[in-house]
Structure 1
């Protein structure tokens, strides 16, 4: 009888395991982008010009990652993503040298939305995703604010739900940036300090609507500083806030997008306000060729203003490989010091020309 009992237990366990394996379908995918170029710009800080390979981004940042999902049944899924950002010119890691500096999260997903925990892309990025036709390129509106293409939050909880064209999203970070000062927008503000609730906290929110022909989005992003963090957010009471309102519409072969970004930095003597406006279009005369153009206007009232003009052409050699060329021209006001190229330098008040040509492969 004991032997029969053991045999029945073994059979039952095997059936349960087989049932579990059949019920729980899982998948893991490897993906990535390798994008690099050669760039030139004049009037670099200290005089002269620069020629070389961009270190932060080409037309888009280079990355590779792993993403996976497991079907839990009843319309529920477990998901994860690990995403690395790297510099093709050197092979080094971007995002403060982190192995998975772009994203690293685990979460749950169903018809009511997606809940994630980890290092997350926050709602500032999603607000700009459709309206900004140029994106995180070397020549782009992001030269005015290095945080915008790096809008990510450490130690965060995130939610996003999509309901008949409406998107609702939010993130809350207990400590927004555990990376040291190396890299763009890294601020050495890990937070999670006992007895200091505000230290390095951050929250972002998004409301958007997208149809087949147009879309609009609005987001709000507020972060706190802490003692020991990079200036100017060196106090938990100091805050840095960004509001974005933008939109786009599409026609056959044409897309037009534009918007407004407002930043309010409250940090004692370093406090500042700016407004950034952008308007751009993409025209694709044939399936394998696309032209982009955008104008960006930066205004810091009573201090300076700058205007950035960008034009770009993409030729798609295949679904995976693209060659491109980009031209940027920065018109700085008398006190302006915004470079035409991401990660570049410029003489104060100078007009600056930048050109770039590169290749991108997606896998």
Structure 2
């Protein structure tokens, strides 16, 4: 009798576990993207270089795990774990984090989505539908490397869409816990006892979006702390970005643009700039043509930057694409912004680049 009862309990537990698993949907997904780029004026001597990009090509490579569970009554639980990888060497991106692109979970209902953990903040989200080149190797992320890395550690986020009106916000107790260096790892882990501003960050978004057009505005304010990168070495230092952008669909043609006003109050002084961008994307059969112009105007300085990029993508299937792009960047004054993300250029020099690559989605 005892064995029979144990067997029955085990069977019931197995049935319950199977039923619970049946309600959970887990997806493995990713992008693998790599190519070659030829760049001019990579140093003050005017030398050229051919290389395989590390940070991105047309899209950053990644592998992710996404899961949802229906809790009933229109409520869902979800999680996202997404790893970024460098295809040239196979190493991890985002400051060496295992799941540097996303590591979060939350709840979703008719009222919106609440997310806990490392996540994209509102600066990232505000640019998704207006930047036609996105994280391309040649794009506005080269001028402002924070834009494709606008994620926040230790954060709680909210997003809601109410008949086209979009509201969103994030609040981080410590915006960047990695000390590996670079725009994705600025050594500002926060959560410091006795210092409520250390490495805190808050972002907000408001907008209106439809399939035909959209307009939104976002605000991003981050604080520094001792040892943090980007000149934010004190909790009194701030880096503020205010964005206004939009998109318009003219049949299959997409137009997108905006302006990002930045005010950097660093240990070395205050800098203000405006980054303007405008682009167009148009499909022609299996081809897609993208083009974008951008300019960073730094106030009270001659160190301005102008960029022009064009890209052609051919869809070999629904998942596999080949592409090529050409771009030019002009640096004025003491500016040394490279055309390719993470690249180098001689101070005050113009740079031209050509790239070709292959991308597969799974």
Instruction: Write the mapping of 1:125-144 to structure 2, written as runs, cut at 5 A.
Output: 125-144=124-143
Aligned to 2:203: 204
What's the CA shift for 1:18?
4.1
Instruction: Write the mapping of 1:4-15 to structure 2, written as runs, cut at 5 A.
Output: 14=12
What's the CA shift for 1:24?
6.8
Aligned to 1:301: 299
How far apart, CA to CA, are the structure 2 residues paired with 1:285 and 1:359?
Answer: 19
Number of residue equivalences: 359
Aligned to 2:269: 270
How far apart, CA to CA, are the structure 1 residues paired with 2:21 and 2:350?
Answer: 62
Give the 3 Å change call, closer, same or farther, for CA 312–234 of structure 1 in structure 2.
Answer: same
Give the 3 Å change call, closer, same or farther, for CA 16–325 of structure 1 in structure 2.
Answer: closer
User: Is the contact between residue 35 and residue 60 of structure 1 (CA under 8 Å) also seen in structure 2?
Assistant: yes
- Helix, strand or coil for the counterpart of 2:33? strand
Matched, 1:27 2:25: yes
- Helix, strand or coil for the counterpart of 2:341? coil
Give the 3 Å change call, closer, same or farther, for CA 83–15 of structure 1 in structure 2.
Answer: closer
Give structure 1 regions of 4+ aligned residues with deviation exceeding 2 angstroms.
13-24, 181-185
Q: How large is the Cα RMSD of the aligned pairs?
A: 2.2
Instruction: Write the mapping of 1:309-348 to structure 2, written as runs, cut at 5 A.
Output: 309-348=308-347
- Helix, strand or coil for the counterpart of 1:171? strand
What's the CA shift for 1:210?
1.1
- Helix, strand or coil for the counterpart of 1:149? helix
TM-score by length of 1: 0.94
How far apart, CA to CA, are the structure 1 residues paired with 2:247 and 2:180?
Answer: 35
How far apart, CA to CA, are the structure 2 residues paired with 1:334 and 1:197?
Answer: 39
What's the CA shift for 1:194?
0.8
User: Is the contact between residue 44 and residue 347 of structure 2 (CA under 8 Å) also seen in structure 1?
Assistant: no
TM-score by length of 2: 0.94
Structure 1 unpaired stretches of 5+: none
Aligned to 1:283: 282
1:41 to 39, 42, 57: 39
User: Is the contact between residue 253 and residue 285 of structure 1 (CA under 8 Å) also seen in structure 2?
Assistant: no
Aligned to 1:237: 236
How far apart, CA to CA, are the structure 2 residues paired with 1:156 and 1:22?
Answer: 29
Structure 2 unpaired stretches of 5+: none
- Helix, strand or coil for the counterpart of 1:354? strand
**Larger deviation: 147-156 or 18-27?**
18-27
- Helix, strand or coil for the counterpart of 2:268? helix
